[in-house]
Structure 1
Amino acid sequence: MDSNQPANDKRHFSRILFDATCTLHQGVREWSAELLDISLRGILVQCTELSNADFEQPFEATIALSDGGESIIMSLKLAHHEATHLGFECEYIDIDSITHLKRLVELNLGDPEILNRELGSLTLYHRAPAE
């Protein structure tokens, strides 16, 4: 557990502080946001203007990684919000985006064992529902 996190914090995924431009999309609507942190499970952003957003509907986030056009694209649902801070849970991420995200997490954690444990936990969250 990170020493900066409270003892009662039950997070399964390491949050990486990452300053990047993030664009939130919902249908034809689009909002600019500041990415505060990212994990294999979701993102935390600061967004001062979310006019006409439907918080019950999914969002898509595009996170610019470089000027070269590389980005992480996630389909999200709002998990919580407080004032201008919005926490989103990832519902879907494509293979190119998860590759970029995995590398970003790997570089910031510095411990391949933690990354492997988090990837294992990720599969538990994304099991298909029982029929």
Structure 2
Amino acid sequence: MKDRRRFSRVPFKTEVEVLFERRRLAAKNLKDISLKGLYVVAPERPPVGEICQVKVKLTGAEPPVELIFTGEVVRHGPDGFAIVVTETDLESFAHLRKLLSYNLADPEKIEAELGRLIR
């Protein structure tokens, strides 16, 4: 089966917080992240189709940086759930772009994907 993903995913383990249905789910593990989505490892899963707020904590900086996204739960997996990002602020997007560039073997690939995202 051909992989239909349009955006490179980077394995990235960090704390993530998901807010949905007026509930807060604090997961200890983000499995991966891309320009357009992320996969959260957690035993509790919001329903598919649920709109949620996501905070990803980057602890390498002082003070720690939070990436903030709005997204939709698009699928459940055996160990968590996938969220497609529908909205983010400019600062979070800039940090995400740097994170992906630093963690991909081919940083220019992110620039090409960014071009597809903007179109």
TM-score (norm 1): 0.80
Q: What is the aligned counterpart of 1:58 among 51, 54, 67? A: 51
2:109 is matched with: 114
The SS at the match of 1:99 is helix
1:22 is matched with: 16
The SS at the match of 1:64 is strand
The SS at the match of 2:15 is strand
1:30 offset after TM fit, Å? 0.2
1:23 offset after TM fit, Å? 0.4
| Residues 46 and 113 (structure 1), Cα distance of their counterparts in 2 relative to 1, 3 Å cut | same
- Structure 1 unaligned regions, length at least 5: 1-6, 125-131
In 1, Cα distance between equivalents of 2:108 and 2:39: 24
| Identity among equivalent pairs (%) | 28
The SS at the match of 2:99 is helix
> Is 2:83 the counterpart of 1:98?
no
1:56 offset after TM fit, Å? 3.1
> Deviations for 1:99-128, whole angstroms, at most 9, x for unmatched residues?
11000011012434211111011113xxxx
1:35 is matched with: 30
- Structure 2 unaligned regions, length at least 5: none
The SS at the match of 1:30 is strand
1:71 offset after TM fit, Å? 1.1
RMSD: 1.7
In 2, Cα distance between equivalents of 1:68 and 1:27: 29
* Residue correspondence of structure 1 range 79-98 to structure 2 within 5 A: 79-98=74-93
In 2, Cα distance between equivalents of 1:101 and 1:47: 22
1:76 is matched with: 71
**Higher gyration radius (CA):** 1
Q: Across the two proteins, how many residue pairs are aligned to each other?
A: 116
TM-score (norm 2): 0.87
> Deviations for 1:53-100, whole angstroms, at most 9, x for unmatched residues?
454331111000016231111101011112332011000010010011
